[in-house]
Structure 1
Amino acid sequence: MAWISLVIAGLFEMVGVMMINQFHKDRNLWSFLFLILGFGASFLFLAYALRVLPMGLAYAIWTGIGAAGGAIAGMVCYGESKDWKRILFITIVLSSVIGLKLVS
């Protein structure tokens, strides 16, 4: 259950990051509320996962999901560059997260 919670925390981290971008563009109450809810839910699920998982591993995975997911969301939703170098480094981040899990 802790692993599922950690993945959910990473996904909410992505929502929070996307809402930062949306709030920067729109400056409306809904963007701000979703920003707060996204990060709030992310921290709650991360805190739950940290009851069982080691902090270093959980934080690295949470950050990796948020960083890679935010970059992918930027490419898909906001028209950011889809250059092969960006995709390569996103793949490296995700591979590193998987590698951490395998050696832990």
Structure 2
Amino acid sequence: MAWVFLLFAGFGEMTAMFFLKLSDGFQKKGAAIGAIAAGGVSFYFLSLSLLDLPVGTAYGIWTGIGSVGTVLLGILFFKEGFHAKRLLFILCIISGVIGLKLVS
């Protein structure tokens, strides 16, 4: 279950960053509350995953899921640029996450 909790934590991180962008610097209260709530959910599931996983592995994978997911959300919803260099570095993050999973 630790890996499932870690996956939920990563999706919570993505959701928190999505709402943080929508909050417009915490000026839009509904989105700001969504960001805080999603961040709390993310930390909760991360803490559950840490009961069974090494902290370095869990943190690296959590940030990897959050980073890649947030970049993709930015491209899809906020018209952020997508080009070959970005794809290359996203693939680097994904390969690091896979590597951490394999050695754990």
TM-score by length of 1: 0.95
1:59–1:26 Cα change, 3 Å = closer
Structure 2 counterparts to residues 21-32 of structure 1, below 5 A: 21-24=21-24, 27-32=27-32
Q: Distance in 2 between matches of 1:26 and 1:20?
A: 7
1:82 aligns to 2:82 (yes or no): yes
Structure 2 counterparts to residues 46-65 of structure 1, below 5 A: 46-65=46-65
Contact 2:26 2:32 (C-alpha < 8 Å) held by counterparts: no
Q: Distance in 2 between matches of 1:90 and 1:24?
A: 26
Shift of 1:27: 2.2
Shift of 1:25: 6.6
Task: Calculate percent identity across the aligned residue pairs.
Answer: 41
Output the aligned Cα RMSD: 1.2
Q: How many residues align?
A: 104
Runs of 4+ in 1 over 3 A off after TM superposition: none
Amino acid at match of 1:52: D
Q: Distance in 1 between matches of 2:103 and 2:51?
A: 20
Amino acid at match of 2:13: E
Equivalent residue of 1:24, what SS?
A: coil
* Structure 1 segments unaligned to the other structure (5+ residues): none
TM-score by length of 2: 0.95
Residue of structure 2 equivalent to 1:14: 14
Q: Distance in 2 between matches of 1:97 and 1:103?
A: 10
